[in-house]
Amino acid sequence: MDSVVTYPGYVSSLYWIMSELNVPYIDDTNQTSCTAWNYYGSGTSNSVALTAVFLRNMHVAWEKRAYPLIHCGTSYGDYKECRFLLITNSEIRERVRAILKKIDRDIVVPEELVHYSEWLHVMRFEIAQRKKFDVSQVKVAVHAACHTYKLMAEDFTYDESVLGGVKPAPTSSIALALGAKLVEYSNWYDCCGFGFRHILTEREISRSFAYFRKIRPIVNETRADVLLTHDTGCVTTLDKSQVVPLAHGYKESIPVLSDSQFAALAMGAHPFLVCQLHWHVTDWSALLSKMGIDWQKAKEEYKAYLERVKKGEKPYLIKPPPFWVIGLNPVLVVGAGPAGLSAACDLSQAGVRVLLVERREELGGAPARWKYHTLAPDFVPVSRVLGPLIEQVTKSELVEVKKGCVVESFRGSVGDFEVRITELKTRRSETRRVSCVVVATGFEHFDARVDPRYGYGRVPDVIGINELEAMLSQGRVVKRDGSAPKRIAFVFCVGSRDRSTNPWCCTVCCGVSIKQAIELKRILPDSQIYMIYMDVRTTGLWEKLYWDSMEKFGINYIRGRVGEVYHTGQKLLVKGEDTLVRGPFEALFDMVVLAVGMEPGEGTRQAASIFGLNTNEYGFLLPRTPNIHYDSGREGVYLAGSCVAPMSVEEAISDGSAAAMQCVKLMKVMRA
Amino acid sequence: MDERLEITKEDERLFERLASERRAKLAMGTVEDYLRMLQKMRELEQKGEITVHHVTEEYQPVNVTTLSGRLKKIPTVKLWQHKSCGQCGHIPGIREFSLLDNV
């Protein structure tokens, strides 16, 4: 969520400070002006309408589980009055409730009404720690805004350590914390001159009051370098009201800044890009020089920036820190296939930092490695499923992606595990601390060279379904000689359900093979396709593929087992047994596609060793409870995806989400 | 004869506070009224007539004191920024200045 700052100076400075301090916040466009302008300016509004607007804003904050921080001093004062009336007057309460009902809301009242200067007050020491410029020689005068402490006087911050607890603490306290010299003056209680009615009807009173009752006495009594205040109206009134007297020969002048601008400047914020001093009419150059800020250089930088923006560069926006960051060690996600990506996305969306480690140089796991075309059973492009996940982890500020890296050691206890991560190319290692782990190391396609019956790796045009996917992605399926195949055989259960290789069922290869056969018929409509199967295991909704392949695409099925594939010189001869007619068969094909199964890969074997996880007899990671995949049996280590068992992409994505949820649950407990 | 009134620092502070409280009466309600209002707010919440958005630990609050000395909780994180409408900054009648060109 980028923050678009439209109001000069104090807002951008406040947001910048919050971002520097890593304070999450929401800059919400869904808010309404306080209407206090109307109230104080003309008196045409009324208490019920004002209170309804107040509560509507407060309700929006409550809905978003964020606490309202009120910037405008007048809104703050107005809201204090509104809350007072609402609580003490049942008639107003009921009339306001009726208004709110029209927008499906009810009465939600903030326990405390908080002005932004009070936030700066409580954060002042943290801000001072980030100070980059020495302000010890700067003399600061402070003007407290009437509406913050005179309307409902009880409810503003006073502090015994600031001005003896007699005058409002905010703004003075930040100047003191930063080390500036705070100077007092006699007419501190006076209004800045703004006065809503005056500014509308008798502006000269405002301007002359501001200059002759505030600015001149402050300058003559204190010789301060800057006048700080904490309300937009006060800043602009005290700043702009100096123009006319100066034009008439009066000499007293002082720069006027908000407290947030002064604090941000001291912390090293850019005077123009962040603090937007060019909107101020009084001369701040001496102040900045005294603070040690090279404003001339900053001015040139800003002018150059404006030129770049004119040429199309994206304007600088202050980014708020992620809202729900859980301030613990990140979660380590091992493997960036569908399950790992899904876990990383869900964790980051829940405000959890993620360290995503992937052995390969690309994200996406087997689908990316083998360039999968579409997913069964609905022919959805893989890019549409995995693309958003990859984009999210790549763009998320909460996800740190480490490609070409492996985890080499793991120790410690839940919440504070220590892992050593090594970059494969350089062998450079680093030690990181993580709170918990999601192991999502995926699978490998069965290497059919292991079973010599199929001739894979020796006989041309015998390929795996993984290789056919890549061809389908390119939209061009050809034999090694470049010609299109006319007769194509799919051999099911290669490296699956075979006790001589892998005895388990890979669960998806029947469906994937049929999906591919249909796609082949679409691009090679004259081809003849034969599916040589043991059983057709298109479970659940995948069954439609099976019937459609026969009824709509004329794909043939032979129930049998293949004993041998060899090249005749021109064709591929497939020999086997037809288990329906209980006799041998031989058939010539142009291409043979092996429905290779899924098996645990090297990454999974290493994960088992490094994270101390149990494996089953086949080498898949073994959950503590057979039907609950994510539970590794080791506290803080969760399992997801096809490192546990063969599964489809969508199942792996769900598995990743489930593991992410376990991490969130665990971290919630750790925070408590 | 020096007619200046000699008062202790403590009395001076007390006087200032009393003066502030007296000035407060110019606005709606007194300090005491305000504290009673907060009590009533809690009662209305208990009756279920209103919902109160509490400054819970989730907001990592820091306590400050108000004029009366009551503790007020200031949230420090997860803030909903209620911005100024901006009208204060755009009061008509002053020509645009930009010190980018004037300094």
**pLDDT tens for residues A423-447?**
999 999 999 999 999 999 999 999 9
Which has more pLDDT, A145 or B26? A145
What pLDDT, on a 0 to 100 scale, did the predictor assign at position B68? 82
Please judge whether B80 and A26 are an interchain contact, meaning their C-beta atoms are less than 8 angstroms apart. yes
Domain A331-442+601-671 and domain A448-598 have a common topology: yes
Q: Between A288 and A315, name the one with better pLDDT.
A: A288
| ipTM beyond cut 0.95 | no
Distance separating alpha carbons of residues A507 and A487, to the nearest angstrom: 26
Cα–Cα separations (whole angstroms), residue A455 to A198, A465, A578, A591: 94, 15, 20, 12
**pLDDT tens track for A475-512:** 999 999 999 999 999 999 999 999 989 999 999 999 99
- Which residues 54-83 of chain B have a CB within 8 Å of chain A? 54-55, 58-59, 62, 64-68, 70, 72-83
Question: Residue B58: what pLDDT?
Answer: 81
| Amino acid, res. A38 | N
Answer whether residue A562 shows pLDDT above 90: yes
Q: B21 and A285: CB-CB below 8 Å?
A: no
Tens of pLDDT, residues A310-322 = 999 888 888 787 6
Judged against a pLDDT cut of 70, whether residue A279 lies above it is answered with: yes
Taking an 8 Å cut-off on Cβ atoms, the answer to whether B67 and A87 are in contact is no
Report CB contact under 8 Å: A109, B80.
no
What is residue B94's predicted lDDT score, i.e. its pLDDT? 39
Domain extent listing, chain B: 9-102
Look at residue A9 in the predicted model and tell me its pLDDT.
82
Does B10 or A636 have the greater pLDDT score?
Answer: A636
Q: What is the pLDDT of residue B23?
A: 56
pLDDT of residue B90: 45
Instruction: Determine the pLDDT at residue A33.
Output: 74
| CA dihedral (A130, A133, A139, A142) positive or negative | negative
The structure's pTM equals 0.61
Peptide bond into A377 cis (omega under 30): yes
Structural class in CATH, domain A331-442+601-671: alpha beta
- Chain A residues whose CB is inside 8 A of the B23 CB are 150, 153, 189
Kindly give the pairing relationship between strand A416-423 and strand A405-413.
Answer: antiparallel
Mean pLDDT over residues A569-594, rounded?
A: 94
Q: Is the pLDDT of residue A455 over 60?
A: yes
Give the pLDDT mean for A307-312: 93
User: What are the angstrom distances between the C-alpha of A596 and each of A371, A512, A566?
Assistant: 16, 10, 18
- Give me the residues of B, 29-58, that contact A with CB < 8 A: 29, 31, 33-35, 37, 40-41, 44, 49-55, 58
- Tens of pLDDT, residue by residue over A506-556, are 999 999 999 999 999 999 999 999 999 999 999 899 999 999 999 999 999
Question: Which of A191, A170, A186, A187 has its CA nearest to residue A262?
Answer: A170
For residues A235 and A138, give the distance between their C-alpha atoms in angstroms, rounded to a whole number: 19
Instruction: Please state the rounded mean pLDDT for residues A356-374.
Output: 95
**A595: closest CA among A529, A521, A533, A645?**
A533
Tens of pLDDT, residue by residue over A656-671, are 999 999 999 888 777 5
Q: Does B62 sit within 8 Å of A87, measured CB to CB?
A: no
**CA dist A386 → A256, A341, A656 (Å):** 53, 8, 13
* Distance of alpha carbon A123 from alpha carbon A177, whole angstroms: 10
Q: Which residue has the higher pLDDT, B84 or A554?
A: A554
Give A76-107 as a 3 state SS string: HHHHHHHHHHHHHCHHHHHHHHHHHHHCCCCC
Kindly state which CATH superfamily the domain A448-598 is placed in: FAD/NAD(P)-binding domain (3.50.50.60)
- CATH class of domain segment(s) A128-310: alpha beta
| Domains of chain A, residue spans | 27-116, 128-310, 331-442+601-671, 448-598
Please name the member of B20, B82, B86 whose beta carbon is closest to the beta carbon of A69. B82
For the beta carbon of residue A365, count every other beta carbon within 10 angstroms.
27
Residue A2 has pLDDT above 50, yes or no: no
Interface of A with B in 330-369 (CB under 8 A): none
Q: What would the pLDDT profile of A599-627 be if each residue is shown by its tens digit?
A: 998 999 999 999 999 999 999 999 998 88
Please say if the pLDDT value at position A46 is more than 80.
no
